[in-house]
Amino acid sequence: MKHVSFFRWVVALGLVLFGASLAVYMAAPEDPETKQIDLTVLSEKPDGSCTVSWADPYAKVRREGPYQCEPDRAPVLKGRAYDPDTGYGWDTGWVVTEGPDKGDLYVLGQDDAEYDEAMDLSDDLLVLSVLVLIVGVIGGNIRSLYRLSGASPSSVRAARRLEEVASRLAQDHAQAVDAVRTAWEPLRQSLVDEALGQVSVERLRRSAGRGFDAKELRRCGIRTARDVLEAGTPLLSRLPGVEPGAAEWLTAAAQRLAGDAVRAGVSRAVLERSDPRVVELLNALSVLVRVGPEGRVAAESAAELAALLGPLLVTAEPAAGPRQMLRAGADERAAAKYAVGELRRVLGAAERREEVGLFTQTSIDLLRGPDADPAGVAARVDFERRPAKYVHLLTELAVPEPVPVW
């Protein structure tokens, strides 16, 4: 469960106090609906305390009870306590017109003291609630501003754009390299088949050493170095006449021969052949030749940059906006602030090197593929103009290094 902010409790307390103020105000006694009637004063004291009788307009009976008469009214209205010869006195009063006290006498203002006390309490609670709410709101906003201090949506957005551009270039370059290797594979295999098909299994003894019987291998259908590669070490090790470890030696020797054949024939495979496989290879190579070594360096830089920005962007995600920053925990905010600092550093370096424009242009160059020239005329012309670049690039991307012989 997430930690609830202290200032949220303060605001909650302010709302409770405000509610209490409202409740006291609503519960304060109010003057009921009344109706004025005539009262017969049966007896009266000098302070106005009297006993009266009145006709209940609702119960249709005459009732009698205490009342607070007006002591300053005219003497003619006084009771016989003041002038026994006048008989009963007279006054006006008020009766309740609704509720359970309907028909009872009511002295206007008799609940004023209780009402004033309730209003004072309601006002005190209201003032206190406003003060508490002010503290909660201001304190919460100050705390929110502190929490938002590390938010940097612009930096995160810029880093995302840079990561997208770098990832796209790395992906485009990888696809271009894969296209070269895919187009080269059938030609490589034909060179291997052609070269190893001419090497008898007996000749492998000079490089693989002893440990197998060539005649037994021939009886099993293993006649050339190509057959050795096709059979593989697991099958060779189970054949008769092959001593333990000899299958690995045979396979390694055949692989060295295959590598030598590919390195020796790479130029010839491109120069002398004119089949569709060469056209496809030249088209794939032309894309990378066009971007040149600078394009490869840019792609490598883009891959490194994308690998660096990816984790930083994940950590900096809370800093992408105020809402995310407010929802994040303390540890997440601290990590996001650090990640934003790193992102700014990376963005500054990329801006100085103008990498966004470089990456974008290199991607565009890589995407200008040979689709508009399926016959490979332009690639063949470019190859004939600078064949060394094509052969060097093909060797670098698809031809294995020589395997040392121990």
pLDDT in tens, 178-235: 999 998 888 888 877 777 777 777 677 665 556 666 677 777 777 777 877 777 778 8
Q: What average pLDDT does the segment 126-147 reach?
A: 68
Q: Give domain limits for the chain.
A: 6-27+115-147, 34-108, 153-398
Quick check: 19 pLDDT over 90? no
Predicted confidence at residue 253, as pLDDT, reads 76
Of the listed ranges 87-101, 131-145, 247-261, 290-304, the least confidently predicted one is: 131-145
- pLDDT of 304 > 90? The answer is yes
The pLDDT, as a whole number, for residue 178 is: 92
The C-alpha atoms of residue 150 and residue 210 are separated, in whole angstroms, by: 71
CA proximity to 282, closest of 348, 161, 197, 377: 377
- The rounded distance, in Å, linking the Cα atoms of 143 and 149 is 10
The total of other beta-carbon atoms located within 10 Å of residue 364's CB is: 12
Percent share of the chain, pLDDT over 70: 79
pLDDT value at position 4? 46
Q: Any residues with CB less than 8 A from the CB of 273 and at least 6 apart, and which?
A: 187
Residue 343's pLDDT band, with cuts at 50, 70 and 90, is confident
Per-residue pLDDT for 82 more than 70? no
Between the two ends of the chain, the Cα-to-Cα distance in Å is 64
Percent of the chain beyond pLDDT 90?
A: 8
The whole-number average pLDDT for the span 18-46 is 81
Distance of CA 118 to the CA centre of its chain: 53
Question: What is the structure's pLDDT at 298?
Answer: 92
